[in-house]
Amino acid sequence: MKIVTAIAWGGVMSAACLSMSAASAQSCSVPVLKVLAQKSLGLTVMEKTLAEYEKKNGTKVQISYFGENDRRSKARLDASTRAGSYQIYYIDEANVAEFATAGWVVPLLKYLPKDADYEDFLPGRRAVASYKGVAYFAPLIGGSDFLFYRRDLLEKAGIAVPKTLDELVAAVKKLNNPPNVYGWAARGQRGSGMNVWRWAPFMLAAGGKWENNGVPTFNSPQAVKATTLYRELFKYSPPGGATYDWSNALEAFRSGKVAFMIESTPFADWMEDPKKSSVVDKVGYVRPPSPLPSAAYGHGLAISATGAKDECTRQAAGKFIAWATGKEQEQARLKDNVFSDYNRSSTIASEYFRKHVKPQIQAGLTDTTPVSRVTIWPSPEWPDIGDNLGVVLEEVFTGTRGDVQSALDEANEYATEVMQRAQKRK
Amino acid sequence: MPYTIRKKRHTWLPAVFLTLPLLVLLILGLVPSIAAINLALQNRVLRYSDSEYVGFANFLRLFGDRRFLNAVQVSAIWEVVTVAGSLIVGVLLAVFLFERIRGRARDLLALLLIVPVLLPRVSAAFIWKFMYSPLMGILNWLLECVGLGGTALLSDPATALYAVALVDIWQWGLFFGTVILKLLETLPTEPLEAARLDYAGTLQVYAYIALPMLKVPIMSLVFIKMVESLRSFDLIYVMTKGGPGIATETLDMYAYAQGIGLMGKVSYASSMAVLMMLATTIIFTLLWKRVAKWEN
Same domain, A273 and A318: no
Domain count, chain B: 1
Q: Tell me whether residue A162 is in a domain.
A: yes
Question: By the 8 A CB rule, do A157 and A151 touch?
Answer: no
Range of the domain at A257: 145-295+367-425
Per-residue pLDDT of A368-401, as tens digits, reads 988 988 899 988 888 889 989 999 999 999 998 9
> Please, what is the average pLDDT of chain A?
89
For residue A70, pLDDT beyond 70: yes
A266 touches A341 (CB < 8 A):
yes
Interchain proximity A386–B262, CB inside 8 Å: yes
Q: Which domain holds residue B54?
A: 36-295
The reply to whether A57 and A78 lie within a common domain is yes
Question: Does some domain include residue B138?
Answer: yes
* Cα A95-A221-B69 angle, rounded to 5 deg: 60
Distances (CA, A) of A395 to A69, A322, B62: 22, 43, 21
Sequence-ordered strand ranges (E) for A309-392: 372-373
What pairing do the DSSP bridges indicate for beta strands A145-150 and A283-286? antiparallel
Tens of pLDDT, residues A72-119 = 888 988 998 888 999 999 999 988 998 999 899 999 999 999 889 999
- pLDDT given at position B10: 64
pLDDT, one tens digit for every residue, chain B (296 residues):
444 545 555 678 888 889 999 999 999 989 999 999 999 999 888 777 778 899 999 999 999 889 999 999 999 999 999 999 999 999 999 999 998 988 899 999 999 999 999 999 999 999 999 899 887 788 888 887 887 766 788 888 999 999 999 999 999 999 999 999 999 999 998 888 898 888 888 888 898 888 889 988 998 899 999 989 988 899 999 999 888 989 999 998 999 888 877 677 889 999 999 999 999 899 989 988 888 887 66
- A6 pLDDT band, cuts 50/70/90, is very low
What is the domain-level CATH number for residue B49?
1.10.3720.10
Residues of chain B in contact with residue A69, where contact means CB-CB under 8 angstroms, are 261-262
Residue A16 is assigned to a structural domain of this protein: no
Same domain, A32 and A48: yes
Q: Is residue B28 part of a domain?
A: no
> Which chain A residues in 173-192 lie under 8 Å from chain B, judged by CB atoms?
178-179, 189-192
Residue type, B196: R
CA B68 to chain centre: 20
Residue A362 forms part of a structural domain: no
Q: Phi/psi of residue B209, each to 5°? A: -120, -60
ipTM value for the complex: 0.77
Of A6 and A57, the structure prediction assigns the larger pLDDT to A57
Residue of chain B whose Cα is closest to the Cα of A390: B245
Structural domain count, chain A? 2
Looking at the structure, tell me whether residues A253 and A374 fall in a common domain.
Answer: yes
Order of all β-strands in the sheet with A283-286: A182-185, A258-264, A145-150, A283-286
Which residues, other chains included, contact B157 with Cβ-Cβ below 8 Å and sequence gap of 6+? A395, A398, A399, A400, B244, B245, B247
Question: Domain for residue B83, yes or no?
Answer: yes
Specify whether A275 is located in the same domain as A371. yes
Write out the DSSP string of B105-164: HHHHHHHHHTHHHHS-HHHHHHHHHHHH-TTT-HHHHHHHHTT--S--GGG-TTTHHHHH
Sign of the C-alpha dihedral, residues B133, B138, B142, B144?
positive
Interface mutation target, options B47, B234, B236, chain A, most CBs of A under 10 Å: B47
pLDDT at position A11 is 45
With contacts defined as CB-CB under 8 Å, which chain B residues touch A186?
Answer: none
pTM of the model: 0.81
Query: Does the pLDDT at position A5 exceed 80?
Result: no
Distinct helix (H) and strand (E) counts, chain A: 19, 15
Mutate to test the interface with B, among A77, A80, A231, A278 (most CBs of B within 10 A): A80
